[in-house]
């Protein structure tokens, strides 16, 4: 495993991090995670050199159990059981108080991240994770107008001074990679988590240039496009009941996806690359601005395959030039949830 510095922090994190949303069996979104296999995967992740785990207050959350935070608790129990406190770098996230994803333009910060909500969620996460300090606390949605709030900035500084959070980051709205630059200008944030993959290459434009000039860490989420870039879906793929990808990948979209995957398979064959998934991961790691990617890994076989990819190195410039033509900018989320219509995507 190789390691990269997370922006201006003193954290050296594994290039392959562990995204843990899928482990939470989130109601109505992800299903099929086996707690026993999840724990085994986490242990193997650490054995293979992984040291960066990304979770969130809301992963697995249910109104029926408002004090439970399943993903954080899973990570906390794993760290305690394996005596890994201080050895694993943990990132988590504060949800919007109004529970709206993405952060809608025009809604005041007081409805999304009021000070008492920020402090409550930090304390909840510390308790769920069993930690004294959170390495990286991220805001789980963002509108850049939020940063005008002096209360928000003072609350962040207060929590840092209390030793509860070491560094702060922003998990930007899906497909809005530049909707954070005003906040980054304050110097209060050390990282940005954004969707970045072969299909969604917009972050490599303005955001990556800013990150390089200002020493901001980039955490790449959705590296396989919700599994689309695994190369394993076909026009006939059927997802489990309760899996949001039933709506995300409709029949027509699976047909479109197959066409794009066919093009990527040709690139793999041309350059002797083992699989589309390998191509997708190496594409991301070929960008030095990226500190880590965080695939969700529910199966041991997938974890072992993924953890070997950094050894294969960056892609040649010729391959990267070819992949620029494979960008497929689209956003399926508004069709999954009608409330997300007209929310200023692709900023």
Q: Per-residue pLDDT tens for 15-53?
A: 999 999 888 776 666 666 788 889 999 999 999 999 999
Share of the chain above pLDDT 70, in %: 93
Write out pLDDT tens, residues 186-214: 999 999 999 999 999 999 999 999 999 99
Q: Which backbone phi and psi does 251 adopt, to 5 degrees?
A: -55, -45
The tokens 């990679």 sit on which residue? 177
H-type alpha helices, 82-149: 109-112, 115-129
Could you give the dihedral angle defined by the CA atoms of residues 322, 272, 253 and 301, in that order, rounded to the nearest 10 degrees? -130
Supply the pTM of this predicted model: 0.93
User: Facing residues of 347 across strands?
Assistant: none
- Whether residue 150 contacts residue 110, with contact meaning beta carbons closer than 8 Å, is answered with no
How far, in Å, CA of 161 to CA of 143, rounded? 25
How far, in Å, CA of 315 to CA of 300, rounded? 26
The radius of gyration of the chain from alpha carbons, rounded to an integer in Å, stands at: 19
How far, in Å, CA of 60 to CA of 68, rounded? 8
CATH superfamily of the 10-333 domain: NADP-dependent oxidoreductase domain (3.20.20.100)
- Whether residue 294 contacts residue 281, with contact meaning beta carbons closer than 8 Å, is answered with no
User: What are the boundaries of each domain within the chain?
Assistant: 10-333
How far, in Å, CA of 313 to CA of 324, rounded? 19
Q: Which two tokens stand for residue 204?
A: 């490599």
pLDDT on residue 253: 87
> Regarding beta strands 12-14 and 3-5, do their DSSP bridges make them parallel or antiparallel, or are they unpaired?
antiparallel
How far, in Å, CA of 118 to CA of 270, rounded? 50
């Amino acid at each position: 495993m190789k390691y990269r510095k997370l922006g201006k922090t003193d954290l050296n994190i594994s290039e392959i991090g562990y995204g843990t949303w899928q482990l939470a069996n989130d109601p109505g979104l992800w299903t099929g995670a086996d707690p026993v296999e999840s724990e085994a995967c986490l242990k193997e992740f650490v054995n293979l050199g992984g040291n960066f785990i990304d979770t969130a207050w809301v992963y697995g959350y249910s109104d029926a159990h408002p004090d439970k935070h399943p993903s954080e608790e899973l990570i906390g129990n794993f760290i305690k059981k394996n005596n890994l406190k201080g050895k694993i770098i943990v990132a988590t996230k504060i949800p919007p108080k109004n529970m709206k994803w993405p952060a809608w333009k025009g809604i005041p910060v007081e409805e999304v991240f009021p000070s008492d909500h920020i402090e409550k969620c930090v304390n909840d996460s510390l308790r769920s994770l069993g930690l004294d300090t959170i390495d990286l606390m991220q805001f789980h949605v963002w509108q850049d107008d939020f940063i005008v709030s002096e209360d928000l900035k003072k609350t962040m500084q207060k929590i840092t001074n209390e030793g509860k959070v070491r560094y702060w980051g922003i998990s930007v709205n899906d497909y809005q990679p530049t909707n954070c630059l005003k906040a980054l200008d304050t110097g209060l944030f050390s990282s940005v988590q954004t969707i970045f993959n072969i299909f969604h290459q917009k972050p490599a434009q303005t955001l990556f240039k800013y990150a390089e000039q200002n020493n901001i860490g980039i955490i790449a989420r959705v590296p396989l496009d919700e599994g689309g870039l695994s190369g394993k879906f076909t026009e006939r793929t059927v997802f489990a009941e309760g899996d949001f990808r039933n709506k995300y990948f409709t029949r027509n979209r699976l047909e479109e996806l197959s066409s794009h995957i066919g093009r990527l398979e040709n690139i793999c064959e041309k350059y002797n690359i083992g699989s589309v998934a390998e191509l997708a991961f190496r594409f991301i790691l070929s960008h030095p601005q990226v500190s880590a990617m965080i695939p969700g890994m529910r199966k041991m076989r997938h974890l072992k395959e993924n953890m070997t990819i950094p050894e294969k190195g960056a892609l040649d410039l010729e391959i990267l030039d070819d992949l620029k033509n494979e960008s497929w900018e689209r956003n399926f989320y508004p069709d999954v949830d009608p409330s997300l219509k007209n929310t200023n995507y692709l900023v």
